[in-house]
């Protein structure tokens, strides 16, 4: 199994390198990351849930985004082992600007995603058919509803529309943790870690913040995807942080196995 971090660390290293190249002092860098206006262009990561494989123990999804400042974009396919909360060996698979493929800087996101799909095809084929699962909660980028820290949702009947056979409450909290980036730790000593509880029982807590998240300011639940055949679920979380060009969003996936729904 692979280390469970997103592949965006290199992206932030590129941003830091650009600022260092032009002599941007560390203090200015830290201030830019903290107070940059959300009206500036920034990377907004999107996702595509492909579904559950290997008898429901692996959740497969694609993360993709465009890079406004550096040009190009990225697309990666992830296989998440739900029971071990780790990437399946060999994933993520995909393409990104700066990964030894300079030609990607001259092509659009559609082509980048197509190339990523080709690269991931052997892995996807090895999984066989995928169960798409059921989205039981979604908070889209354009959703104007008030963001809530506690979400009420249910697992639906698949034979009678708009009826649920069990109701649950997912609570999202944050906790202050040490900034994982030595470059900005002096000026940003702490960042926000993630805590999740289901029906009053905590099932996920950050003990440290992975470098791939940079310095999160906040989190939101983007989607809860349920597998009706195994009763396992995955929570897709929006991670918000201040980037070089403005506020950015990335996606992380957290397993919510059946034992937490007793």
Nearest one of 238, 215, 249 to 34, comparing CA atoms: 215
Give me the domain span that covers residue 186.
9-261
Q: Domain for residue 2, yes or no?
A: no
Residues β-bridged to residue 62 = 48, 77
pTM: 0.82
Q: Domain for residue 173, yes or no?
A: yes
Per the CB < 8 A criterion, the answer to whether 165 and 155 are in contact is yes
Q: Domain for residue 116, yes or no?
A: yes
The per-residue pLDDT string of the chain (262 residues; one tens digit each, 9 = 90 and over) reads 444 566 554 444 444 443 343 344 444 444 444 433 333 344 889 999 999 997 889 999 999 998 766 567 899 999 999 999 999 999 999 988 765 556 556 778 898 999 999 999 999 999 999 999 999 999 988 888 888 899 999 999 888 888 988 899 999 999 999 999 888 888 889 999 999 999 999 999 999 999 888 899 999 999 999 999 988 999 999 999 887 667 889 999 999 976 555 5
Q: Domain for residue 214, yes or no?
A: yes
Q: Domain for residue 3, yes or no?
A: no
Sheet containing 218-226: order of strands: 134-138, 218-226, 233-242, 247-256
Count of domains observed in the chain:
1
Q: Domain for residue 1, yes or no?
A: no
Per the CB < 8 A criterion, the answer to whether 153 and 136 are in contact is yes
């Amino acid at each position: 199994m692979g280390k469970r971090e997103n592949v965006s660390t290199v992206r932030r290293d590129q941003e830091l390198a650009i600022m260092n190249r032009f002599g941007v002092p560390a203090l200015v860098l830290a201030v830019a990351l903290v107070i940059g206006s959300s009206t500036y262009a920034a990377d907004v990561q999107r996702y595509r849930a492909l579904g559950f494989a290997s008898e429901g123990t692996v959740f497969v999804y694609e993360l993709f985004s465009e890079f406004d400042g550096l040009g190009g974009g990225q697309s990666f396919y992830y296989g998440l082992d739900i029971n071990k909360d780790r990437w399946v060996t060999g994933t993520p698979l995909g393409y990104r600007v700066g990964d030894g493929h300079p030609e990607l800087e001259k092509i659009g996101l559609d082509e980048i995603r197509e190339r990523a799909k080709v690269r991931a095809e052997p892995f996807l084929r090895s999984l066989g058919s995928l169960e798409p699962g059921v989205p039981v909660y979604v908070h889209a980028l354009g959703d104007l509803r008030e963001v809530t820290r506690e979400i009420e949702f249910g697992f639906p009947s698949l034979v009678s529309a708009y009826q649920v056979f069990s109701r649950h409450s997912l609570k999202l909290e944050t906790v202050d943790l040490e900034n994982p980036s030595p470059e900005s730790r002096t000026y940003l000593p702490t960042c926000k870690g993630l805590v999740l509880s289901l029906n009053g029982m905590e099932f996920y807590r950050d003990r440290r913040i992975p470098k791939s998240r940079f310095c999160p300011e906040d989190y939101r639940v983007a989607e809860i995807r349920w597998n009706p055949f195994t009763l396992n679920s995955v929570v897709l979380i929006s991670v918000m942080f201040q980037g070089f060009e403005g506020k950015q969003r990335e996606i992380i996936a957290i397993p919510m196995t059946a034992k937490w729904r007793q």
